[in-house]
Structure 1
């Protein structure tokens, strides 16, 4: 199922991966204090993704992080985005690739802004099909030539059914993903999953066609439960970033210290999507975890003020089909049917193996009880 959706979405992410990597390389020649290039790329990719997907699936809805309000107010910025999104020079030989053939750039600046707004004004929900996207997840590290992701997910009736994530700056070295190897010369890889596949497809990205790639079966089939169950708490590898929000980092560090885990984080990555991909694909061990403890609920509410649907959609399904699990701090599955905000969830506990996740969740709950 969803073979055509996967093909189109993968082509769009392929194009966006090459385009954004070309922008990243150009940033090396400008001031790191100038965030304009990543802002331009963010808008351009959302227009490309929605333009491509809406042409193939015109009845579907869209939900993206960006709206075109800033472009309508800033003619210079709008022109820069238009120049990038309409350029064919960023990808040598693009005309010969399937990604370029399937990808549909907007035909005018006005159409470009309309496409961006289809995502920026979209709300999703529990009925119908909605494409959710984060054009560049990790903008803060993108400008430093760090890790980022281009993420797309198809939500049907509030459930993830397809996830496609491009990691253009992450080298395809599955045995050493925890060390976050950088792909300086190439364009990283794309990983995708369909609900119920019990595995994920990994395809290296180049300027030419996407190869068939490698199907990696779920850890639920390849690794026994007792292997993850026997891992000592002190051997948990926290995947996080020291550049994160202060409250979350303080609590996560306290938890790691309580478990005897050092250093913290064991794997440093800013992009949430890339973190979940590392949890899904890392083969050195099955001990990778991510814990997000948000500030206390206000007035009994359950909404995490920091989390949006595009923070997880795509890589979350990939983690699940790879054999991992992610729930909130109450043990509830991530609810993708609540609109733009993940208002039905509070925090996150994710792990590379289902039995490991249950152990981590238990430790988080015990830690929070002590904090009361």
Structure 2
């Protein structure tokens, strides 16, 4: 991206801190594989979540100290469990980018207490229309993460309720297969980073251990008009979505079903649309009161939009990212190429 762009600094810091956090998560998985941590225990996921959140917030808060930060985790569990605290601190203290110039742009806490305070800074974040807010999910896909499947480290910048930057680090993403699958992982490298800047498009780069590698701009999604050309990504195991209703919608409009790609993590469904061969994702909640968490969608939504998709609630209304830690005004979601998005909205009206 043009270094004179008004969000050039934010993008560089975001991409670097996400890359560093993915190295941290990889370190945890190596410990599990070598038997240093028990896969049946929840602690590997907990350590990765807390440690990644501390490192990401540390870098963002140092570079942009006035900005609001919204993170999924708080430090309560660490303050109550000294063993978990020490493991998390050891991990945070040991992760650095190999490139000194890149590492110097970031920040790491110098004490355990500072680490805990950084984690809690994210827990206090609000994300409203009056501020600049960074929204992060340190490990999206905790269940699949511990199994060595697909997961993402996610960071987005929201300014006055509008997404401006989205960066998703996908350490296990394998682009050689053409279609995403939980078990089709990058075994030899560090996966890929998919990112977008509002009005500038979406990009992909390989991740490494040092400076950021060159990025390639992604092609726009084909603007299809026929339901038969829809290619769904979904999650059959989701406890919040009514996948039976998703199937009824596909049948009603004449689209292929069942879904071609099944992914647990919400953010990875945006990645499946960006680089994994899919072009549509729908979420019809099981419960009328359900609202999605900001960190499950911020950034991923921007990537889809920059590739020519429309993202809306089930009624076709734009998603408002300035209503707090949840997408409070958004009941359900439809993500699809702009050319056919309206057909899906009308179909939803007919089946629910």
TM-score in same-fold range (> 0.5): yes
Gap runs ≥5 in structure 1: 298-303
Deviation at 1:246, TM superposition (A): 6.1
Q: What RMSD over aligned residues (CA atoms) do the two structures have, in Å?
A: 2.0
| C-alpha distance 280-357 of structure 1, shift in aligned 2 (>3 A) | farther
1:7 matched residue in structure 2: 12
What is the rounded CA distance, in whole Å, between the counterparts of 1:142 and 1:156 in structure 2? 30
What is the rounded CA distance, in whole Å, between the counterparts of 2:52 and 2:102 in structure 1? 14
Q: Deviations over 1:97-121 (max 9, x none)?
A: 5443323111111000100000011
In the alignment, structure 1 residue 50 sits paired with structure 2 residue 57 = yes
Q: Secondary structure at the match of 1:342?
A: coil
In the alignment, structure 1 residue 250 sits paired with structure 2 residue 244 = yes
TM-score by length of 2: 0.91
2:124 to 121, 126, 147: 121
| C-alpha distance 168-72 of structure 1, shift in aligned 2 (>3 A) | same
Q: Deviations over 1:177-200 (max 9, x none)?
A: 345642112111111111111x21
Q: Is the 8 A contact 1:280 1:323 kept in 2?
A: no
2:162 matched residue in structure 1: 159
2:304 matched residue in structure 1: 319
Q: Secondary structure at the match of 2:280?
A: strand
TM-score by length of 1: 0.87
1:214 to 198, 216, 231: 216
In the alignment, structure 1 residue 147 sits paired with structure 2 residue 150 = yes
Q: Secondary structure at the match of 2:311?
A: strand
Gap runs ≥5 in structure 2: 1-5
Q: Is the 8 A contact 2:192 2:205 kept in 1?
A: yes
Deviates more, 1:205-214 or 1:185-194: 205-214
Deviation at 1:260, TM superposition (A): 5.4
Q: Deviations over 1:147-196 (max 9, x none)?
A: 111110111111111111111110134x7134564211211111111111
Q: How does 1:32-111 map to 2 (within 5 A)?
A: 32-88=39-95, 94-111=97-114
Q: How many residues align?
A: 344
Deviation at 1:261, TM superposition (A): 5.1
In the alignment, structure 1 residue 192 sits paired with structure 2 residue 195 = yes
What is the rounded CA distance, in whole Å, between the counterparts of 2:189 and 2:164 in structure 1? 29
1:23 to 20, 28, 39: 28
What is the rounded CA distance, in whole Å, between the counterparts of 1:178 and 1:119 in structure 2? 31
Q: Is the 8 A contact 2:281 2:335 kept in 1?
A: yes
Q: Secondary structure at the match of 1:237?
A: coil
2:185 matched residue in structure 1: 182
Deviation at 1:125, TM superposition (A): 0.6
Q: Is the 8 A contact 1:15 1:103 kept in 2?
A: no
What is the rounded CA distance, in whole Å, between the counterparts of 2:126 and 2:195 in structure 1? 24
